Amino acid sequence: VDHQKADWVSIHERICQLLIPIRTSLPCLLSEKEREHGMEQLVKRQKYIINLACSTAEEFVLDGKHKEAIPAALQALRLSTEVYGSNSVQLVPAYLLLAEASTGVGHLPQASKYLSQAQWIVLRTPECSGAVQYKLHRSLGLFCAAEGNFEQALYHLANDIYLASSTFGLKSIETSGGYFHMANIFFRQNKMDIANSLYAEV
């Protein structure tokens, strides 16, 4: 009951009606053209629900409601796997959201598994964009910081800043996030001069 309630509050209430058409099988007596059109509509609906589930999970994470983010991120992962396959780079955002939410509720071993999956997919995709790679390094950096491994966290956040700035530009919002998280780590290490200069950069 608790799981059902959490799932309902997190995402199901928003997508319940949207799931009906994608869970209903197409009639058998359709022409080839009608079947193709039906499949196109199905994929369109699935992608819409994936985006909705991801943005819902992101909102919860940003609000610090990590527990509520997990069912939404799991829904995004399930549908992404159906639409794109289990090794697609399109699954990485859902894995990163699950890792961040799991870290937020203190389930570090689970977060580590999600990050490993995301990292494995990115490594197997040579044409993977900088936009995906910087997010992976940011998530790895935040995970290492949560474990207390500050040196490794700074390494990943430096990669995050490099990839974000080469993709979006030095003065972009995307890049400023990396500086902010890096500043937080220097702050935790009591290196106030470096932290303050990074906060100023943000």
Q: Do 14 and 105 sit in the same domain of this protein?
A: yes
Tell me how many domains the chain contains.
2
Q: Do 16 and 100 sit in the same domain of this protein?
A: yes
| Averaged confidence pLDDT in the chain | 87
- Residue 74's CB is within 10 A of a number of other CB atoms, namely 19
pLDDT digits (tens, 9 = 90+) for 79-116: 999 999 999 999 999 999 999 999 999 999 999 999 99
Task: Assess if residue 117 is contained within a domain.
Answer: no
More confident residue, 32 or 6: 32
Q: Do 158 and 100 sit in the same domain of this protein?
A: no
Q: How many helices (H) and strands (E) does the chain have?
A: 10, 0
- Distance from the first to the final alpha carbon of the chain: 44
pLDDT of residue 25 exceeding 70, the answer is no
pLDDT of residue 196 exceeding 90, the answer is yes
User: Domain span at residue 150?
Assistant: 129-201
Which of 109, 138, 167 terminates a domain? The answer is 109
pLDDT digits (tens, 9 = 90+) for 124-183: 998 999 999 999 999 999 999 999 999 999 999 999 999 999 999 989 999 999 999 999
Task: Assess if residue 123 is contained within a domain.
Answer: no
- Within 8 A by CB and 6+ apart from 176, the residues are 201, 202
Task: Assess if residue 119 is contained within a domain.
Answer: no
